Chain A
Amino acid sequence: MAEPIGIEIRSLYKIFGPEAAVLMPKVRDGMTKAELNERHGHVLGLNNINLTMPAGRIQVIMGLSGSGKSTLIRHVNRLIDPTAGEVLAGGADVVKMPPEALREFRRHKTAMVFQKFALLPNRTVLENTAYGLEIQGIDRGRRTDTAMRWIERVGLKGFEKKYPNQLSGGMQQRVGLARALSNDAPILLMDEAYSALDPLIRVDMQTVLLDLQKEIRKTVVFITHDLDEALRLGDAIAILRDGEIIQQGSSQDIVLRPADAYIESFVREVNRGRVIRADAAMEPVSGEAPEVSVTGDASLEDVARLMADRRVTRVTVIDPASGGPVGMLAMESVMAAMTNRGGY
């Protein structure tokens, strides 16, 4: 298995239009997206993006349409060339790679899953899955073995001879995922990979990804416009708006401390019980510690379920690593945290 590598994006700018390079200094000096569009007819796609994505974790980039999230992910494998800035993947600057090196980088270090699947209609599931390996020049026997393993892993065993047209959207995206995973690249780019799927299938596919990630430990860059999806998948989340990052942090950071009214308006619709951890809502132990205990990384929803099952109103929160008590939670504070708008 490939060693995970981190990605670091440093002062990345993208201006769309013929005179991008000329206008770059003005943008650096603080010209806004609206001004640039009005005075020069150029579109500011990305504005001074700085983002460190840790190796082997899921980095979600969330934003609405037009926020520049799809533009940003295309800079990681340079499907789009930046106007200025650096994209370091495992220490190498993708922006400076000559064409041959870039091709090798795309073949061996990255794999991508697309919103519209982008499967070849004239190829079977097996041939589609082996596509990346074929491009790498791996012989037929080995690429069939690898592809079959991943087809099985994403739950499509028995479908390998089918054509994409014969599959549902959810199954097609499983093929897209299997194709990307067959590459065994340390970086997995998922561009709104689940946005075209039904809500139930989407949750199902999220589970598939989370299960797989436990064993494959890839650096996943996941683009979405759905905050629930972002909170469920992301080890780290960056929220993008008008080409700028307006907040980055963990799910809890976003839900508990939204950076501005814009993010708060999203957060309001979120199921807080699933995002907020026990150790974020707990209070110091006072008096005798309750008998029933939960780990600090349990969600409030889990805590509430446990309380109902065990018929208790107070639980001890213990440290997930050491097992020692770190605080306690009463039913009132669980309910308050789950229903509170903008508190904590």
Chain B
Amino acid sequence: MDWLTKFPQMDGALLRELNKSIDGAFRGFTRAWGDTIEAFFEPLRLFLVHSEQFMTRTPWIVIFLLIVAISWFCTRNWRITLGGAVILLLIGYFGMWEDTMKTISMIFVCTVISLVVGIPLGIAMARWNRMQAIVNPILDVMQTLPSFVYLIPVVMLLGIGKVPGLIAVVIYAMPPIIRLTNLGIRLVDRDMLEAADAFGSSSWQKLKNVQLPLALPTIMAGINQTIMMALAMVVIASMIGVQGLGQPVLRAISNQYFSLGMFNGFAIVGIAIIFDRVSQAFGKRLQKHSEVVHG
């Protein structure tokens, strides 16, 4: 009656053998295909490098004015713009300007890639139920699997550096934009689609004229979430060599530098606030037409 008190588990030797063969197979795959995969991601690496060079080599005053100008044009709200400017000045004054620029560059590239891949995927999910049935469980895994677990194969394949960091961040940040694009399109009023059909729209015209514009508020919420998730991954990504605000935090953890950790942590919070407020206000401004309601 041993199996009643102790779970009847796999034989230890067998389990060891299994692990060893999976590891061996994956190592073999890495050796055979590592270079090819690295070459495949080369354009991404160049994108990252150029974006980072732009952010760090441009004089700080230019970048500062650029960010303030963008937030003004997106929000038309002087309080948000002024708040963002103050946060940036404080970050610079506390000596974190360069790290912040690297982080912003990383977030920018990760967001762009998440959107470029995620929005079409969300559209495809909305169109085909089969697609939704396949993608949804994958998204569940992406969102619940601890990031360290998928860092292992990524690092084995691509080593330490920018690209594996980017992949880790994108895996974590992409699900919201996919899900919310899908949801937004599925929530579009059926009457509107019927009207589009009645006027003889092709499916592309229906997507462009009706589905995407009406799903836009939901898609904007997805973009906002994606940016926030990308920022949240900064510290973990720094463990595999992504430069920026995450690295001082990591150093602070291992050496118990309290203030270093706090300052850099607050810098992350600061840029998160800027991104969040600006992207939300921008989304709201796009929906201006829905505000004025006839009495």
B289 touches A163 (CB 8 A): yes
Closest to A122 in B: B213
Binary per-residue interface labels of chain B (189-201) against chain A in the complex, 1 for a CB within 8 Å, 0 otherwise: 1011011011111
A165 touches B290 (CB 8 A): yes
A120 touches B210 (CB 8 A): yes
Q: Which of B191, B289, B291, B293 gathers most chain A CB within 10 Å?
A: B289
Q: Is B205 an interface residue (CB 8 A)?
A: yes
A111 touches B199 (CB 8 A): yes
Binary per-residue interface labels of chain A (151-194) against chain B in the complex, 1 for a CB within 8 Å, 0 otherwise: 00000000000010111100000000000000100000100000
Contact sample, A vs B, 22 pairs, CB 8 Å cutoff: A103-B200, A103-B201, A103-B202, A106-B197, A107-B199, A108-B200, A112-B198, A114-B194, A118-B189, A118-B191, A118-B194, A120-B210, A121-B289, A122-B214, A132-B199, A135-B205, A135-B209, A163-B292, A165-B289, A165-B293, A165-B294, A168-B294
Q: Is A47 an interface residue (CB 8 A)?
A: no
CB distance from A48 to the nearest CB of B (A): 25
Binding site for B on A (CB under 8 A): 77, 79, 103-108, 110-112, 114, 116, 118, 120-122, 131-132, 134-136, 163, 165-168, 183, 189
The residues of A that contact B289 with a CB separation of less than 8 Å are 121-122, 163, 165
A114 touches B294 (CB 8 A): no
Given the contacts A120-B209, A122-B214, A79 and B197 also touching, CB distance less than 8 Å: yes
Other-chain residue from B192, B291, B293 in contact with A118 (beta carbon distance below 8 A): B192
Top 5 nearest A-B pairs (CB, nearest first) are A107-B200, A106-B200, A118-B195, A163-B289, A112-B198
A131 touches B199 (CB 8 A): yes
Q: Which of B189, B195, B201, B289 gathers most chain A CB within 10 Å?
A: B195
B192 touches A106 (CB 8 A): no
* Alpha-carbon distance A105/B197, docked complex (angstroms): 11
A166 touches B292 (CB 8 A): yes
* Alpha-carbon distance A99/B202, docked complex (angstroms): 10
The residues of A that contact B213 with a CB separation of less than 8 Å are 120, 122
CB distance from A333 to the nearest CB of B (A): 47
Q: Which of B198, B209, B213 gathers most chain A CB within 10 Å?
A: B198
B214 touches A106 (CB 8 A): no
The residues of B that contact A167 with a CB separation of less than 8 Å are 294
